[in-house]
Each structure stands twice: as C-alpha cells, then as structure tokens.
C-alpha cells in the first residue's frame, strides 16, 4: 500500500468460527490481493484483514461474499455469534452449541441495535466462549442423577468435580446440591455409567460485558428445551431493541435503569409454563 494512504481493517462474518478449508484459502487469497501482509484471528471467532486501502474495499467485498465470508458487523449491531464445539466435538458438552449459534446468527447477525450486542453459546458452565460476558448468553447445564445402589465408590467423579460437590462416604458417592453447578462433568466421566442425568437445560443470561470492568450477565431464565431457549433469546433481543438506550454506554450499565425485573417478566410471559425450570 502506498505510504500515507488511509487504510481500513475489515472484520469478517464467521458465525461460531466455522469455516471450510476452501473458505480459508479464499480469505488468504483475498487478504493477499487486497490487504497487507497478514490477517488477525479475533477473540470473537472471526478474522480481520488489516491494511486494506479504500480503493480496494468494493473488490474485497465482492470476493469475500462469493467466498461465503462477507464483511462482519461492528458498533451498534449484532456482531459475530460465538459458540464452543458443543456435542459435536467436546466430551464435556451438554448441548449442541454450534447449530444453535448458526440459527441465532441467521436471525440476528448485523441487525441494528441501540447498543453493540454480542451473543455467545457455551455447551457447559466451563464457559469457553465467555458467554456470560456477552449481552445475551446461553449456557448448557446437566443435572446429575445418582444411583447409590450401583455405585462402586471408585471416586472418579470426585476427581473430576471442580466444585468439591462430591465425596465418598462409606463407599458411596454423595452429592452436595448447594455446591453443584450442573456442569455434567461427573455424568460424562463416570467409568461405569452409574451417574446419569436429566435432559439438558439452557440458562439464558442478560447484560454481561467484557472490557476494563467486566460484568457477568444476570440470569433471565433456565428452560428445559431448545425451543424455549430460542424463544427466550428472541424476547431478550426484542427487549434490547425496544428498551436499551443508545450512545456510548453498554447494556450492562443500563439494566437497573431500563428495568431488569420487568424484562424477566416479559421473557417469562413468552414461554410455556412447563418449560421454565428456574428464574432470577
């Protein structure tokens, strides 16, 4: 690029960070032709092409659109939706995170909002995509069901529990419900299949943020089906659009002002009663 010429950094749309090898080659070719000497892998599972001259923007946009990795979103928009590998590739996953994220992306990516809106889907409370630090987060949980009459007391599940919620007493595994965060690790790691589980549930959080003063999103609701989880996300997105105040402040700074309790009631009103496991 010519010295002194204004340049741009172009962020791509790559929902859940999933690209094919052919798309990666296409990104590399486009970056080499229209950008600088490198690309940047971002924290939100997408790619940035830096040092793009203004005159190259139209041609780059065409190339990336044909490649299936078009320009991304920034500012007061719904930006790249993130997800962990979920059931497809992680032995600790409780839900199918990637299809969920792709569906949410199809509905909301790029939509103009009063505030920048990040959505993250994590298949378990390990929170590998920091979904609870997003404006809208979804976390998959699994409640263990113990069968003491079959337990050998081997202690494998105790070793894998990071919450000290399990212990061996008189040769039987005992669960401390107050410590358990429903991560499902004991279910997934029991070598004898003695610990089973109820169906997975989905926790929806609202108003998280990263940055210099990070905040964990507040719980909107826990529901027992994918359909209900999508309905809860839909209503959460609608409430951001209708009630959040635009400008420089993030959603996390407005929750009390815009009435978080009322937003919870709005979400609950949209859900079948038998789908709600817990709220607030």
pLDDT band per the 50, 70, 90 thresholds, residue 71: very high
pLDDT at 147: 85
pLDDT at 279: 65
Could you please report the per-residue DSSP string of the chain?
--TT--EEEEEB--GGG---HHHHHHHHHHHHHHS-S--EE-TTS-EEEEEEEGGGHHHHHHHHHHTT--B---SSBB---EE--GGGT-TT--S-HHHHHHHHHHHHTT-B-SS-B-EEEESSTT-TT-GGGSSEEEEEE--EE--TTT-----HHHHH-TT--EEEETTEEEE-TTT-----HHHHH-TTS--EE---EEEEEES-B-SSS-BPPEEEEEESSHHHHHHHHHHHHHHHHHHPPPSS--GGGTHHHHTHHHHHHHHHHTS-GGGEEE--
User: pLDDT tens across 27-38, in order?
Assistant: 999 999 999 889
pLDDT band per the 50, 70, 90 thresholds, residue 73: very high
pLDDT at 1 exceeding the cut of 80: no
> Measured between alpha carbons, how far is 39 from 26 in angstroms, rounded to an integer?
13
8 A C-beta contact, residue 205 and residue 136: yes
User: pLDDT tens across 212-227, in order?
Assistant: 999 999 999 999 999 9
- Positive/negative CA dihedral, 28, 33, 35, 36: positive
pLDDT at 151: 85
pLDDT at 5 exceeding the cut of 80: no
Residue % of the chain over a pLDDT of 90:
81
pLDDT band per the 50, 70, 90 thresholds, residue 231: very high
Which is more confidently placed, 19 or 171?
A: 19
pLDDT at 4: 56
> Measured between alpha carbons, how far is 264 from 220 in angstroms, rounded to an integer?
6
> Measured between alpha carbons, how far is 101 from 51 in angstroms, rounded to an integer?
30
Average pLDDT, the chain: 93
pLDDT at 169: 87
pLDDT at 264 exceeding the cut of 60: yes
Please state the length of the chain. 280
Residue 38, Cβ neighbours under 10 Å: how many?
11
- Token pair 């987060």 is found at 137
pLDDT at 183: 95
> Measured between alpha carbons, how far is 259 from 241 in angstroms, rounded to an integer?
14
8 A C-beta contact, residue 81 and residue 120: yes
User: pLDDT tens across 139-197, in order?
Assistant: 999 998 888 888 888 889 999 999 999 988 888 888 898 999 999 999 999 998 888 99
pLDDT band per the 50, 70, 90 thresholds, residue 105: very high
Over residues 80-96, mean pLDDT: 96
8 A C-beta contact, residue 135 and residue 207: yes
């Amino acid at each position: 690029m010519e010295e002194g010429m204004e340049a741009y950094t172009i962020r791509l749309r790559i929902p859940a960070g999933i690209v094919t090898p052919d798309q990666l080659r296409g990104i590399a070719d486009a970056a080499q032709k229209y950008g600088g000497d490198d690309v940047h892998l971002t924290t939100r599972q997408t790619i940035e092409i830096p040092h793009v001259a203004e005159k190259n923007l139209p041609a780059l946009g065409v190339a990336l659109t044909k490649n299936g990795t078009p320009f991304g979103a920034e500012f007061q928009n719904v930006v790249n939706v993130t997800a962990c590998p979920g059931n497809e590739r992680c032995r600790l996953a409780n839900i199918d995170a990637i299809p969920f994220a792709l569906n949410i992306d199809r509905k909301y990516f790029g939509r103009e909002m009063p505030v920048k809106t990040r959505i993250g889907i994590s298949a378990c409370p390990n929170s590998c995509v920091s979904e609870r630090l997003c404006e809208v987060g979804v976390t998959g949980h699994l409640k263990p069901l113990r069968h003491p009459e079959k337990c050998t007391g081997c202690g494998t599940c105790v070793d894998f529990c990071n919450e000290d919620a399990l212990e061996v007493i008189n040769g039987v595994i005992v669960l401390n419900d107050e410590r358990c965060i429903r991560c499902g690790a004991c279910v997934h790691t029991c070598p004898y299949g003695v610990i089973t589980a109820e169906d997975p549930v989905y926790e929806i959080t609202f108003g998280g943020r990263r940055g210099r003063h990070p905040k964990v999103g507040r719980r909107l609701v826990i529901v027992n089906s994918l359909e209900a989880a999508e309905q809860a996300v839909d209503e959460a997105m609608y409430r951001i659009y209708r009630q959040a105040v635009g400008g420089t402040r993030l959603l996390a700074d407005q929750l009390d002002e815009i009435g978080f309790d009322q937003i919870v009631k709005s979400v609950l009103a949209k859900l079948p009663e038998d789908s709600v496991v817990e709220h607030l």
